């Protein structure tokens, strides 16, 4: 018997590792990612910019360097663009048989997101399983036997980590976008799996880790690669890996650098301006943010990583004597590297917060066998109350929108949806009722059966958040799409350009945001020139500036067209003709 098993904080009996049906995991995962992914327009900003680069790569063969029209989108990296453009090329002709070409391209561009999501779950599950089977992680042997088999124990913790990913609140919206976010999550999961695999198969694990490192560089630049490089550096100075294992990290570094240079060298030769802008974006992203912004990031992280962060902290405390054991060391160093990266990035937001998702989920899973039963029961009750309240809120808002009661809620909603005409879809309503009944059945099952398996609380959290998201997609997707889509204003601008732009005339822009530029490119393939002598200018401004007549060119311009999203109260677009 090892010293780890003699003093381990994990206390567990065999019934607590009862196998969770694989079909249940598959169904929850599939419903989670498919709900809200299709049958909507791209939304601002990351969703639209990602879609625009993919479409330009496909339409204009701009594969090497991401572009939005003639604008060099020298941020993040090209891998997300490549995957989306490849999917458009392969699948949009098939979807085009059933719908219009634009919808077919948008649908095809979203297919890789499904792949990224299941790679995320696969890497977390298998990496956790490898670590949880090791002797350092095993629960305390019972005096008369009855402790779980290492295989069953490993599978149980892997299932819990899987469910913690699905229960993480902050990822549910951005993981459904055509941005770098879902791919970065998948690559971090693969990096975690690769490092865990190196404990048993050093060469195989180092290759996987090297590919994840290369993918992170090509997805989110030096920011995406920093936590992985930090994890490698910690592994090199630790006792977790043998001297032979540490030599294989050379494969990781050479593979990561080689794949990156295979893109960067041709890109530098093709367009030095683009690559210099990309390097500038990487360098300028790092820097110490002021204390106020850092505290804001910490506040945002608390909700983004909920409910994993409390359990991750509990794991670090309860396993504090095993910080050098692989099941704590690997996710712990990954979490520390991710946190330091967030602290060093000036404007850290969702892509940076995503880096903590995988290690926090794994650490949270490691805490579960160390918790007392009453704490786990508290988690169950918390999940039931909060998620049930969320679903009631979704239904109450829907009732207010369609039936005008309660009046105050109806007023608050319609103020954000000016001009929207709500319509009830019988099929969507029926499906929403079924989802609500399923949630009620799950809660009833939990209260009646009170299963001993440790995944019981997490299945409620994961399934409850999934049901809430499905309800939002079924009941609110049309109104959210109306509120956030630029499709109509793009069509109106295209008609105005056809009316007012004469052959040989050019159009430039001023004040146009990145998301708005991408929207015009995606929906109507509109681009702008950089020629400052152009007499036609598309100006993005605010209604306040228009009302107060504090616009640029106020003295020498005629307004040919003005438009905005009907639900927008501030932003407005003006097509101007300069008289001088």
In a domain, 435, yes or no: yes
Contacts of 547 (CB under 8 A, 6+ apart): none
In a domain, 98, yes or no: no
140 and 259 belong to one structural domain: yes
The residues that bridge with 558 in the sheet, in sequence order, are 577
314 and 405 belong to one structural domain: no
190 and 252 belong to one structural domain: yes
- Is residue 266 classed as helix, strand or coil in its secondary structure? helix
- The position carrying tokens 């590792």 is 17
Separation CA 189–CA 167 (nearest Å): 16
Quick one: pLDDT at residue 143?
A: 66
- Is residue 537 classed as helix, strand or coil in its secondary structure? strand
**Dihedral, CA atoms, 309, 311, 312, 318, nearest 10 degrees?**
150
Burial bucket for residue 531 (CB in 10 Å: 0-12, 13-18, 19+): exposed
Alpha-carbon Rg for the chain in angstroms: 26
Q: In the numeric block, which tokens belong to residue 152?
A: 């069953």
326 and 258 belong to one structural domain: yes
The DSSP-derived string for 408-421 is: HHHHHHHHHSTT--
Length of the chain: 580
Domain enclosing residue 543, as ranges: 488-578
In a domain, 15, yes or no: no
261 and 141 belong to one structural domain: yes
Q: In the numeric block, which tokens belong to residue 88?
A: 């458009």
In a domain, 346, yes or no: yes
Contacts of 69 (CB under 8 A, 6+ apart): 52, 56, 517, 521, 526, 527, 528
In a domain, 194, yes or no: yes
Q: Which one of 452, 484, 516 terminates a domain?
A: 484
214 and 318 belong to one structural domain: yes
The DSSP-derived string for 283-316 is: HHHBSPPPHHHHHHHHHHHHHHTTTHHHHHHHHH
413 and 448 belong to one structural domain: yes
From first to last of its 580 residues, what are the pLDDT tens digits of the chain? 444 555 788 877 777 778 888 888 899 999 999 999 998 999 878 999 999 999 999 988 888 999 998 899 998 999 999 999 999 999 999 999 999 999 999 999 999 999 999 999 999 999 999 999 999 998 887 765 667 888 989 999 999 999 999 999 999 999 999 999 999 999 999 999 999 999 999 999 999 999 999 999 999 999 999 999 999 999 999 999 999 889 999 999 999 999 999 999 999 999 999 999 999 999 999 987 677 888 888 899 999 999 999 999 999 999 999 999 999 999 999 999 999 999 999 888 888 999 999 999 999 999 998 987 777 777 778 888 999 999 999 999 999 999 988 889 989 898 888 888 889 999 999 999 999 999 999 888 877 877 777 777 788 889 999 999 999 999 999 999 998 899 999 999 999 999 888 888 899 999 899 999 999 999 999 989 988 888 899 999 988 888 877 777 767 788 899 998 888 888 899 999 887 6
389 and 254 belong to one structural domain: no
Separation CA 83–CA 62 (nearest Å): 13
Q: Which one of 370, 404, 437 terminates a domain?
A: 370
322 and 257 belong to one structural domain: yes
Separation CA 212–CA 193 (nearest Å): 10
Domain count, the chain: 3
In a domain, 29, yes or no: no
pTM for this model (two decimals): 0.93
Taking a C-beta distance cutoff of 8 angstroms, is the pair 449, 484 a contact? no
Separation CA 129–CA 154 (nearest Å): 5
Listed residue (265, 261, 237) closest to 249, CA to CA = 237
Q: Which one of 370, 400, 418 terminates a domain?
A: 370
Quick one: pLDDT at residue 93?
A: 95
The residues that bridge with 286 in the sheet, in sequence order, are 345
In a domain, 72, yes or no: no
CA 143 to chain centre: 46
Handedness of CA 289, 291, 297, 302 (dihedral sign): positive
202 and 323 belong to one structural domain: yes
306 and 383 belong to one structural domain: no
Reported as type and span, the H/E element at residue 326 is helix 326-344
What spatial distance separates the first Cα and last Cα of the chain, rounded to whole Å? Answer: 88
Backbone angles phi and psi of 467, in degrees to 5: -65, -40
Backbone torsion region of residue 75, taken as left when φ is above 0, otherwise alpha when ψ lies between -120 and 50, otherwise beta: beta
- Is residue 576 classed as helix, strand or coil in its secondary structure? strand
Quick one: pLDDT at residue 13?
A: 75
Residue 255 per-residue DSSP state: H
In a domain, 154, yes or no: yes
392 and 365 belong to one structural domain: no
Separation CA 42–CA 53 (nearest Å): 13
Listed residue (235, 33, 27) closest to 114, CA to CA = 33
Separation CA 231–CA 332 (nearest Å): 9
């Amino acid at each position: 018997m090892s010293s780890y098993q003699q003093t381990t904080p994990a206390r567990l009996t065999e019934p607590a590792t009862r196998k969770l049906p694989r079909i249940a995991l598959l169904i929850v995962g599939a419903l989670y990612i498919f709900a809200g992914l299709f049958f909507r327009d791209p939304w601002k900003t990351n969703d639209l910019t990602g879609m625009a680069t993919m479409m330009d790569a496909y339409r204009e063969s701009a594969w090497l360097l991401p572009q939005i029209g003639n604008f060099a989108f020298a941020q993040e990296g090209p891998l997300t663009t490549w995957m989306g453009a490849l999917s458009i090329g392969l699948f949009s002709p098939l979807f085009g048989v059933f719908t219009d070409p634009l919808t077919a391209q948008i649908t095809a561009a979203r297919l890789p997101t499904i792949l990224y999501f299941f790679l995320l779950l696969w890497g977390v599950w298998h990496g956790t399983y490898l670590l949880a089977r090791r002797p350092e992680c095993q629960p305390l042997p019972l005096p008369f036997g009855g402790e779980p088999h290492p295989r069953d124990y490993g599978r149980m913790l892997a299932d819990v980590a899987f469910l913690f990913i699905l229960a993480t609140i902050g990822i549910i919206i951005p993981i459904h976008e055509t941005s770098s976010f879902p791919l970065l999550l998948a690559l971090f999961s693969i990096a975690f799996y690769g490092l865990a695999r190196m404990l048993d198969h050093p060469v195989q694990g180092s290759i996987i880790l090297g590919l994840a490192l290369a993918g992170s560089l090509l997805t989110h630049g030096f920011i995406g690669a920093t936590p992985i490089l930090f994890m490698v550096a910690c592994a090199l100075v630790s006792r977790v890996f043998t001297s032979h294992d540490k030599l294989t990290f050379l494969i990781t570094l050479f593979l990561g650098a080689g794949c990156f240079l295979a893109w960067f060298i041709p890109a530098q030769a093709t367009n030095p301006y683009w690559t210099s802008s990309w390097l500038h974006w990487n360098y300028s992203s790092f820097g110490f943010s002021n204390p106020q912004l850092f505290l804001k990031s910490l506040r945002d992280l608390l909700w983004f990583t909920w409910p994993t962060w409390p359990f991750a902290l509990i794991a670090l405390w309860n396993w504090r004597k095993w910080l050098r054991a692989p099941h704590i060391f690997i996710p712990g160093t990954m979490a520390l590297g991710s946190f330091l990266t967030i602290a060093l990035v000036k404007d850290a937001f969702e892509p940076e917060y995503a880096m903590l998702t995988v290690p926090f989920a794994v650490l949270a899973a490691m805490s579960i066998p160390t918790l007392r039963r009453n704490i786990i029961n508290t988690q169950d009750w918390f999940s039931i109350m909060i998620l049930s309240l969320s679903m009631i809120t979704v239904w109450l808002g829907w009732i207010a929108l369609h039936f005008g009661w309660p009046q105050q809620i109806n007023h608050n909603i319609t103020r954000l949806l000016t001009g929207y005409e709500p319509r009830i879809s019988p099929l969507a309503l029926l499906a929403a009722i079924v989802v609500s009944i399923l949630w009620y059945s799950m809660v009833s099952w939990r209260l009646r059966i009170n299963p001993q398996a440790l995944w019981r609380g997490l299945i409620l959290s994961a399934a409850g958040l999934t049901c809430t998201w499905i309800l939002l997609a079924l009941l609110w997707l049309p109104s959210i799409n109306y509120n956030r889509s630029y499709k109509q204003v793009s069509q109106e601008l295209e008609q105005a350009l056809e009316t007012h732009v004469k052959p040989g005339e050019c159009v430039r822009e001023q004040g146009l945001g990145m998301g708005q530029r991408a929207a015009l490119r995606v929906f109507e393939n509109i681009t702008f020139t950089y020629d400052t002598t152009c007499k036609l200018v598309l100006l993005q401004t605010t209604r306040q500036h228009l009302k107060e007549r504090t616009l640029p060119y106020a003295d020498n311009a005629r307004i040919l067209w003005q438009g905005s999203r009907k639900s927008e109260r501030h932003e407005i677009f003006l097509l101007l003709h300069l008289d001088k």
